[in-house]
């Protein structure tokens, strides 16, 4: 993936500056220290305090340079900073395209799985693992600090992961287990689609005939108008929407770690998670609009028309960016009897939830309810066995 003819030293330094700025702004140094553990000496890693120093060390060691930007490409792909990839491609045409689903050639599978693990774990999970391995607790600030420490203490070792996997099993951290055991090339990762697509999601190609009209294609907005729209839509959700509903809706996108969705408690922060992978942009706000339809937020239509006067209205929107599974979950949430929220939680060993949307989010997080046919049918059978017929039927609405 070497660039065509490379780039000048000055442009190369400018590119490194942009990369460093992005990762520093997002406080990703610890994440990158986990990623580059096999390429930079431990002592050097311990002393590095900013991303530019890390990039300079990698460049000096010959891991990447003006004539070969593959390492940076793979780094962006693994860390899911796709907006950065687009920015670099626009500024430096020789920079290789970064696409979701690419398999790295620069990092071993073990290292890539550790990255998936770190992006999956939320702080509560980290605390559980901390308690299993440390007395007293080390109180890690994040998953990356924990992974670094466990590697230092040889609790996480390439080729000798059975004990650690057993620990995750003991703690019932299902997503963490999946991150470490599934194939890196798994095709379940959501595929990014341009705003002009008229196809249904891959999982629904066989059902495209149910779409009766073309989905509305938004005009490209200026950055200023896009920012204003994001503020307006977020303020509407904050005032009149339900944050748990929004979390369930945005869980559609598997390239956004569930840990990040769980930790965000403001609509604007949740919507901004869509920016990095490129699910929303000034050229495509389809997801924002369809989320309003799925969440029943019809009143936000006037907010959208304020920025886009030609917007035809939410009643004209055809859902094309969310799977039938996601639409079934929304129907499921809308029919769950209040008395059954606690009962379903008890059936699947979940913490008590205050509403049905928090329950659904936890069911998905713990892989109790997924679009896998076997898991789904088992879940529906459990509902039927406990006389939750309406709830079971809702999961097969679409």
Higher pLDDT, 357 or 277: 357
| 205 lies in some domain | no
Per DSSP, the residues of 288-321 read HHHHHHHTT-GGGHHHHHHH-TT---GGGPPP-S
Q: From CA 86, how far away is CA 98, in angstroms rounded?
A: 8
| 4 lies in some domain | no
Per DSSP, the residues of 232-296 read HHHHHHHHHS-HHHHHHHHTT-TTS-HHHHHH--SHHHHHHTTTTTTSSBTTB-HHHHHHHHHTT
Residue 202 confidence (pLDDT): 40
pLDDT-based confidence at 188, cuts 50/70/90? very low
Instruction: Look over the chain and give the mean of its residue pLDDT values, rounded to a whole number.
Output: 85
| 188 lies in some domain | no
Write down which residue in 269, 291, 316 finishes a domain. 316
Nearest residue to 255 (alpha-carbon basis) of 83, 80, 85, 103: 80
Both 229 and 312 in one domain: the answer is yes
Both 81 and 118 in one domain: the answer is no
CA-based Rg of the chain, rounded to a whole angstrom? 22
Measured in Å, how far apart are the chain's first and last C-alpha atoms? 42
Residue 130 confidence (pLDDT): 95
Both 286 and 343 in one domain: the answer is no
Contact (CB, 8 A) for 269 and 275: no
Higher pLDDT, 161 or 283: 161
Write down which residue in 267, 290, 316 finishes a domain. 316
Phi-psi sector, 103: left (phi>0), alpha (psi -120 to 50), beta = beta
Residue 264 confidence (pLDDT): 92
Question: How many domains is the chain partitioned into structurally?
Answer: 4
- Give 210's DSSP letter: G
Mean pLDDT on 205-234: 68
Q: Would the pLDDT of 3 be above 80?
A: no
Summarised one tens digit per residue, pLDDT across range 115-126 is: 999 988 888 889
Both 331 and 280 in one domain: the answer is no
Nearest residue to 53 (alpha-carbon basis) of 32, 74, 83, 79: 32
Tokens of 41: 């000496």
pLDDT-based confidence at 218, cuts 50/70/90? low
pLDDT-based confidence at 196, cuts 50/70/90? very low
Q: From CA 120, how far away is CA 97, in angstroms rounded?
A: 25
The domain of 159 spans 109-181
| 25 lies in some domain | yes
| 84 lies in some domain | yes
Percentage with pLDDT > 70 across the chain: 89
| 203 lies in some domain | no
Q: Would the pLDDT of 197 be above 50?
A: no
HEC-encoded secondary structure of 83-95: HHHHHHHHHCCCC
| 1 lies in some domain | no
Nearest residue to 366 (alpha-carbon basis) of 180, 182, 178, 188: 178
HSE on the CB side for 12, CA within 13 Å? 16
Mean pLDDT on 20-43: 92
Write down which residue in 127, 158, 181 finishes a domain. 181
Q: From CA 291, how far away is CA 309, in angstroms rounded?
A: 19
145 alpha carbon, distance to own chain's centre: 20
> What angle do the packed helices 243-250 and 223-240 form, to 10 degrees?
130
Phi and psi at residue 292, to the nearest 5°: -65, -40
The pTM for the full model equals: 0.56
pLDDT-based confidence at 353, cuts 50/70/90? confident
CATH number at residue 49: 1.10.533
pLDDT-based confidence at 194, cuts 50/70/90? very low
| 97 lies in some domain | no
Q: From CA 206, how far away is CA 239, in angstroms rounded?
A: 38
Summarised one tens digit per residue, pLDDT across range 72-130 is: 999 999 998 888 888 899 899 889 888 766 667 789 999 999 999 998 888 888 999 99
Mean pLDDT on 236-260: 90
Residue 185 confidence (pLDDT): 56
Summarised one tens digit per residue, pLDDT across range 40-66 is: 988 899 999 999 999 999 999 899 999
């Amino acid at each position: 993936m070497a660039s065509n003819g490379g780039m000048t030293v000055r442009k190369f330094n400018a590119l490194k500056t942009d990369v460093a700025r992005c990762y520093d702004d997002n406080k990703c140094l610890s994440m990158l220290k986990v990623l580059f553990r096999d390429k930079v000496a431990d002592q050097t890693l311990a002393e590095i305090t900013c991303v530019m120093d890390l990039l300079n060390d990698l460049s000096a060691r010959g891991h990447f340079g003006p004539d070969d930007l593959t390492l940076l490409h793979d780094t962006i792909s693994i860390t899911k900073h796709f907006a950065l990839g687009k920015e670099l491609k626009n500024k430096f045409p020789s920079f290789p395209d970064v696409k979701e689903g690419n398999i790295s050639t620069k990092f071993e599978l073990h290292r890539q799985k550790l990255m998936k693990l770190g992006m999956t774990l939320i702080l509560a999970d980290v605390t559980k693992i901390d308690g299993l391995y440390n007395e007293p607790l080390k109180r890690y600030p994040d998953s990356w600090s924990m992974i670094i420490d466990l590697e230092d203490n040889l609790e996480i070792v390439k080729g000798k992961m059975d004990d650690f996997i057993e620990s995750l099993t003991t703690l019932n951290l299902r997503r963490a287990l999946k991150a470490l055991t599934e194939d890196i090339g798994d095709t379940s990762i959501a595929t990014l689609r341009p705003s002009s697509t008229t196809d249904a999601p891959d999982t629904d190609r066989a059902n495209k005939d149910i779409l009766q009209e073309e989905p509305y294609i938004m005009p490209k907005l200026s950055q200023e108008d896009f920012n204003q729209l994001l503020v307006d839509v977020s303020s509407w959700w904050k005032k009149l929407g339900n944050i748990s509903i929004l979390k369930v809706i945005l869980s559609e996108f598997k390239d956004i770690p569930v840990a990040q969705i769980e930790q965000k408690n403001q609509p604007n922060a949740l919507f901004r998670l869509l920016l990095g992978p490129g699910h929303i942009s000034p050229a495509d706000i389809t997801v924002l609009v369809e989320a309003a339809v799925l969440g029943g937020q019809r009143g936000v239509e006037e907010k959208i028309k304020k920025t886009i006067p030609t917007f035809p209205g939410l009643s004209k929107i055809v859902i094309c960016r969310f799977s039938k599974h996601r639409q079934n979950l929304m129907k499921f949430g809308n029919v769950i009897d209040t008395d059954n929220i606690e009962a379903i939680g008890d059936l699947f060993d979940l913490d008590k939830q205050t509403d049905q949307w928090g329950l659904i989010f936890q069911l998905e997080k713990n892989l109790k309810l997924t679009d896998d046919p076997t898991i789904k049918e088992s879940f529906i059978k459990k509902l039927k066995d406990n006389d939750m017929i309406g709830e079971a039927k809702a999961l097969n609405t679409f």
